[in-house]
Structure 1
C-alpha cells in the first residue's frame, strides 16, 4: 500500500544513500531508522492517535536529512526539505508546520513544549538507553574525527559523554523515564568506571614512563661517568707529558748554553801551561753537561712503531687504533673500516681507550724517570764541578 509514510521513507532512503557523504558514521540512515523505531514505541506507550503517529514518523524520517546540505544548522535544512517534499505531496499545511516544529526541537538543548516534541526528543537520544551504547558512541567519535578534526583521547571522550549524560540530556516522556532511564543510568555508571580505569592506567603509564626515564638516566649515568673518567685522565696525562717535555727542553737549553760558554771561554785558556790546573775540573764540568743533555734527549725522544696492523689484529681486538703509531702506515680505507668496528663495539672502544691510557702512563713513567736522572746528573755535576774548580784553584794558590 502506497502511503505518505512509505513515500517519505523511500525518499529519505534515496537521498541519504545517494547524497550523504561516507564520513557520517553516526548521523546516517541507520540512526534514522532507530529514531523512527523508538518513535513508534513511544507513540504506542503514550496511546497517541494515527495522525500524531504519522506526523512524528515523518519528522523522524526527515530530522537528519539536512546533513546532506550542511552540518551546521542541519535542523533548519531538514525542516525545509520536509516542507518542500510534503507540499509537493499535498500534505496539510498545519501538519507540515507541526512536522517542522518537531524537527527543529531536536536541536541540542531544545526544550520540548508538548508531547509530540517530547517523544521525538526522547527517540533521538534513545541510544543513551541502548545496551550497545559504547559501540554507537564510537561511531559518533569517529565521525567527529573525520569531519571536525576532533581527535578525542579515550579519557576526553569518556568525559564528554558523561558531561552529556549529566548536564545536557534528560528523558521527557513517562515511558522513557520508566523504561529507558534505568539502562541510561547503567551506561553512565559504565562510562564512569571506564573513565576511572583510564585515568588509573594513564597515571600508571605516567609513573612507568617516569620510572623508565629514571632507570634510563641511571643506566646512562655510569656510561657518562666512564666517558668523563677517560676524558679527564687523558687530559691529565697529556698535560703531564707536556710538562715533562718542557722541563727536559729547559735542561737541554741550559746545558747547551753552558757547553757553548765553556767552549768559548775555558778551552782557549787550557793551551797555556799555567792554566793546566783547570783541565780536570773542565772535563768534569763538560762531562756532566753532556750527560744532562743526553738524558734530556732520551726523555723527549719519540718512539716510532711499525705503524701497521692486520685485519686479524682488529678482529682479535689486539690493536689500539686511537694511537697514531699503530696506523700511520695504513691506507685511509683500511683505517676507516677498522674504526667502523671500533665505533660499533662499545667494549672495543673502551678497551682501546684503556690501552691508550696505560701506554701513555708507561711513556710518562719513562719520561719522568729519565727527567729525574737528568736533574740529578745536572745537580750533582754542578756541585762536583764547583768543588773541582775550587780544589784546583786552592792547590794552585798554595804553589805560589
Structure 2
C-alpha cells in the first residue's frame, strides 16, 4: 500500500473535503460525526479478535462513509465509494478496495449486515442513540432536515419520529450493547416522556383556548345584548317622541279649527255682540298663533329625517353603512363589499353599530328639542289666552 495512505493523511483529506465542499446546511453529517464514528470503530474493534487488515479496512471505511454528502446526499453511500476509489486509485489492491466499498454500502439504512465488520461500522455510525447527548444531536439532525427538505417539524412530530427511530435501530454487536445499550433504553424512556409532556402541554393549551373562546363568546353575547338594548331603547324613545308629536298636532289642530269655525260662523256666547267685540280677539289671536307655531314644531319633530353621508365618510368610519340613508347612495356591489367587511371583522361591525347609535341619538335629540319647543309654546299661548280672557272679564265687571 502507498505509504501516503495513512490514517492521518486520510483524516486530513476528509477534513479538507468537508471544509471546502460540504454545504452549510449539513450540520449533523459533517466531520465531527465522521470523527465520532471512527473513534467508536476503534473502540469496538478492540473487543473482537480482528486482524490488522480488517481493522484498517473498517477505519478507512469509517472515514469515507459520509463523504458522499459533499456531492449527492440522496445516494451518499454510492458517492462515498466513488470518492474513496478516486482517493486510493491503484495504490491499494483491488480486493482491499472492494472490502472498503462493501463496508461503506452496508451503512445504507435498512441493509442486511453480512459480517462482524459491517455490524461494528453500523453500531459506530448509530452510536449516538446510546449516548447522553442524544437529544442535542437529534436537534442538529432536525435542523439539517428542515433546511434541506424545506419542511418544518412540530415538536410532537419530531419526538414521535425519533422514538420510532430509537426503537427500530438496535445495536448489532455485544460490545455496543454493553457499552451503549442501557443508555439507548433510557433515551427511549425519555423520548416517551417527552411525547407525553408535549401532548399534555398541548392539551392544556387547548383547554386554555377553549376557556378563552368561551369567555370571548360570553363577552360577545354581553356586547350583543348591550347593542340590542340600546337599539331597543332608541326605538322606544323615537316612538314616544312621535306619539307626543301626534298628540300636540291633534290638540293644536282642534284648537285652531274650533277658533276659525267660531270666527267664521259668527257664533257667540250669550250676548250676540259680546264675542265680536275687539277685546276678545286679542286672546283668541294669541291662542291661534301659539297653536300654529306649536303645531309647526310638532310636525317638524315627527317629520322623517333622511341624512346622507359622502362615500369617504363611510370609508373613514365617520358614518354607518347600516343606515339606509347612507347605503342607498352606494352601488349594489359597493354595499355588498361593505357588508362582507363587517361580517369578516367583528370589531368593524361593532364600530359601525356604534356610529349608527350615535347618529340615532342625534336624531332623537333634535326630535325632543322640537317637541320641547312645541309644548312650551302651546303652554305659553294657553296661559296668555286664559290670562287675557280673565283680565277682560274682570275689567268688564
Structure 1: distance between partners of 2:246 and 2:23: 85
Instruction: Name structure 2 gaps, 5 residues minimum.
Output: 302-350, 383-397
Tell me if structure 1 keeps the 8 A contact 2:28–2:144.
yes
Q: Indicate how the Cα distance of structure 1 residues 291 and 45 shifts in structure 2: closer, same or farther if over 3 A, else same.
A: same
SS in 2 for 1:110: coil
Tell me if structure 2 keeps the 8 A contact 1:237–1:360.
no
Q: Indicate how the Cα distance of structure 1 residues 111 and 368 shifts in structure 2: closer, same or farther if over 3 A, else same.
A: farther
C-alpha displacement at 1:103, in angstroms?
A: 1.2
Tell me if structure 2 keeps the 8 A contact 1:83–1:96.
yes
Q: TM-score, normalised by structure 2?
A: 0.68
Q: Indicate how the Cα distance of structure 1 residues 95 and 261 shifts in structure 2: closer, same or farther if over 3 A, else same.
A: farther
Aligned to 1:202: 202
Q: Deviations over 1:234-286 (max 9, x none)?
A: 232123323433454455556656666666x525x99xxxx879979x99999
Aligned to 2:191: 191
Tell me if structure 2 keeps the 8 A contact 1:59–1:102.
yes
Q: TM-score, normalised by structure 1?
A: 0.67
Aligned to 1:16: 18
Tell me if structure 2 keeps the 8 A contact 1:241–1:364.
no
Would you say 1:101 and 2:65 are equivalent positions?
no
SS in 2 for 1:46: coil
C-alpha displacement at 1:229, in angstroms?
A: 2.3
Aligned to 2:332: none
Q: Indicate how the Cα distance of structure 1 residues 254 and 92 shifts in structure 2: closer, same or farther if over 3 A, else same.
A: farther
User: Which is worse superposed, 143-152 or 157-166?
Assistant: 143-152
C-alpha displacement at 1:31, in angstroms?
A: 0.3
Superposed, 1:1-400 pairs within 5 Å as 2-88=4-90, 90-166=91-167, 168-249=168-249, 252=252, 266-267=265-266, 293=292, 296-297=295-296, 299=298, 363=368, 370=375
Q: Deviations over 1:136-169 (max 9, x none)?
A: 1111111112111221121111101001112x31
Structure 2: distance between partners of 1:13 and 1:100: 20
Structure 2: distance between partners of 1:96 and 1:361: 102
Instruction: Name structure 1 gaps, 5 residues minimum.
Output: 303-345, 378-400
Coordinate RMSD, CA, aligned: 4.0
| Equivalent residue pairs, number | 317
Tell me if structure 2 keeps the 8 A contact 1:252–1:297.
no
C-alpha displacement at 1:8, in angstroms?
A: 1.9
SS in 2 for 1:67: helix
C-alpha displacement at 1:72, in angstroms?
A: 0.9
